[in-house]
Amino acid sequence: MRKTLCDVLEEMKKLGIIRKCNSRYASLVALAKKKNGYNCACIVYRLSNKHTVFDPLPMIPLADVFQFIESNRYLSKIDLSKGC
């Protein structure tokens, strides 16, 4: 299990999804095996959430976001291929 976790984290590091850092805060990592056999790293944020300030502002609906960006000439994209 530890070897599998190390492999998953190393792959995420190579893809630039995660990086090494020095912080006094850390979260636990759990492995979840997906139906296709792929191991997905899941972060357990319970401990971090105790120190997080609640933001009462609601998220903007996607329809509003798309309406706002439809006239833009340049757009960025986000790779969500590793979303579990």
pLDDT (tens, 9 = 90+) of the chain, 84 residues, equals 778 888 888 988 999 888 888 988 788 888 888 888 888 888 888 888 888 888 888 888 888 888 888 887 776 766 666 655
Gap between the Cα atoms of 61 and 2, Å rounded: 40
Q: How many CB atoms lie within 10 A of CB 12?
A: 14
Domain that residue 10 falls in: 1-45
Q: Is residue 18 part of a domain?
A: yes
Instruction: Tell me the pTM.
Output: 0.49
Is residue 76, in this structure, part of any structural domain at all?
no
Residue 80 domain-assigned (yes or no): no
Q: Is residue 68 part of a domain?
A: no
Residue 74 counted as domain residue: no
In sequence order, what are the residues at sequence separation of 6 or more whose Cβ sits closer than 8 angstroms to the Cβ of residue 71? none
Q: Within a domain: residue 3?
A: yes
Report the number of distinct structural domains present in the chain: 1
